[in-house]
Structure 1
Amino acid sequence: MTLQWTAVAFFLYAEIVVNLILCIPFISARRWRSVFSWRIWNWLSPYWNKCFVTMIMVLIVLFLDAVREVQKYSGPEPMHDAKVNPNLYDNVHMKLFRAQRNLYISGFSLFLWLIMRRIVTLLNQVAITVENSSGLQAQMDSAVKAAKLHQDDNLMLKQALLDEEQSMSAKTQQMKLEADKLADQVKAAEEAVRKSHAEVEAMRRQAKGLAHEYDRLLREHHQLQNFQSPADKKDQ
């Protein structure tokens, strides 16, 4: 194996290990986001896109070269020459095997490189979503608590209004009873005043009759005195 394909093979093994670590289930997305927030990654972030595109281009070139090698050693001419010379047959098959091996290595390296970037992106998105959902959950919990408090306040207010209404109803009923009682007392007082007026009127009429009677008796008394006066004079 040449140096370039040895490097690609080690790169493939490193990609497999990194992808397996990223897919460990007990490491949450928040922890991966905290890891991705280290200063070293912030320092390397300006070069990350360039490195990613460069590796894709290198792997694509190697993949196309491996495809070319496979087509070269699987064509009819090398196989025809290999049938004529047995030693050349083993050499062609060995080169075809190496070309196919290099094709698989470069193809899987390119595939895992794209998969690794996608996993990192999804982990960041999941961590952001979890943080937003936690914030929304906290806001929803606070909103539910506030709504429950408002509901309790409304129930207390309704109960206070109901008690106040019952109290006002009782006071109104009591005032109505007192008003009826006062009305009865007013009627009784009016009846008493009417009787008093009637008695006063009767007494006034009686006093007037007594006065007329007194005047009549005085006149009769004067008349009697006048009748007696001449007779007394004659007796004398």
Structure 2
Amino acid sequence: MSLQWTLIAGFLYVEVAIVLLLVLPIASPRRWNAVFKSKFLQGIQKQAQFYFLILLSILVLFLLDAIREMRKYSHTESDEQGHAHLDREMQGSMRLFRAQRNFYISGFSLFLSLVIRRLVILISQQATLQAQSEASMRQAQSATTAAKSLLAQKNEEAQNDSNEAHDKEITDLKKKITALEDELKLEKKDKEALKSQSDNLAREYDRLAEEHSKLQKKVTIGSGDKKDE
């Protein structure tokens, strides 16, 4: 294997390792996002797009070269139908095998480059969404706590208002009871005064009736004496 294809194969192995690291649950998306936004990567982020395009261009060139060699050696092998020389046939098969190997190496390297780029974008977006979700959850919890506090405060105020209204009602009822008791005492005094007055009138009536009876007897006796004379 030549030097350039050895480098591309090594790059392919590194890409496979990176894909495994990103896919396997080794670290959380937030931790990966912190790694992606580190000072070192942030420093080369401005030039990363340029380097990525250069890398893709190189891989595409090697892929096209591998395709060209595959087409070249496949036609050579198909044209030599007579199998005149075994060494040339073996060399052609070996070159075709190398061309196919180079095609797969460059093709998978190009494919994994795009996959890694997409994985990095998705992991960053997932970390951002998780952060936004946690912030929304904290905001919702704080809003719920504030709502519960306001509701409890309103209930307490309503309870205090209810207690005040109840106390006021009890005070009014006590005042009414006191007024009714006073009226009842006055009624009792008036009743006792009327009863005493009625008893006095009854006694006076009995006295007057007794005096009337005595006078009537005197009048009767006086008229009898006049008749006897």
Which TM-score bucket, shorter chain as reference?
0.7 to 0.9
Output the CA distance in 1 between the equivalents of 2:154 and 2:181.
39
Deviation at 1:180, TM superposition (A): 4.1
Residue matched to 1:200: none
When the two structures are superposed, what TM-score results if normalisation uses the length of structure 1?
0.72
Deviation at 1:111, TM superposition (A): 0.8
- What secondary structure is seen at the aligned counterpart in 2 of 1:26? coil
Residue matched to 1:79: 78
| Unaligned runs of at least 5 residues, structure 2 | 195-229
Deviation at 1:174, TM superposition (A): 2.2
Residue matched to 1:210: none
Conserved in 2, the CA contact under 8 Å of 1:81 and 1:88?
Answer: no
Q: Which amino acid aligns with 1:81?
A: E
For residues 140-192 of structure 1, the C-alpha deviation after alignment (integer angstroms, 9 at most, x for no partner) is 22112111211221221222122122212212322333444556678889x79
Residue matched to 2:173: 173
> Is 1:30 paired with 2:49?
no
| Unaligned runs of at least 5 residues, structure 1 | 196-236
> Is 1:45 paired with 2:66?
no
**Greater CA drift, 100-109 or 33-42:** 33-42
Larger relative contact order (C-alpha < 8 A, sep ≥ 6)? 2
Residue matched to 1:133: 133
- What secondary structure is seen at the aligned counterpart in 2 of 1:25? coil
Q: Which amino acid aligns with 1:28?
A: S
Instruction: Point out the structure with max Rg over C-alpha.
Output: 1
> Is 1:124 paired with 2:124?
yes
Output the CA distance in 2 between the equivalents of 1:66 and 1:99.
5
Conserved in 2, the CA contact under 8 Å of 1:79 and 1:92?
Answer: no
Output the CA distance in 1 between the equivalents of 2:163 and 2:60.
83
- What secondary structure is seen at the aligned counterpart in 2 of 1:84? coil
Output the CA distance in 2 between the equivalents of 1:185 and 1:64.
121
Count of residue pairs brought into register by the alignment: 193
**Amino-acid identity (%):** 34
Output the CA distance in 1 between the equivalents of 2:183 and 2:115.
97
When the two structures are superposed, what TM-score results if normalisation uses the length of structure 2?
0.74
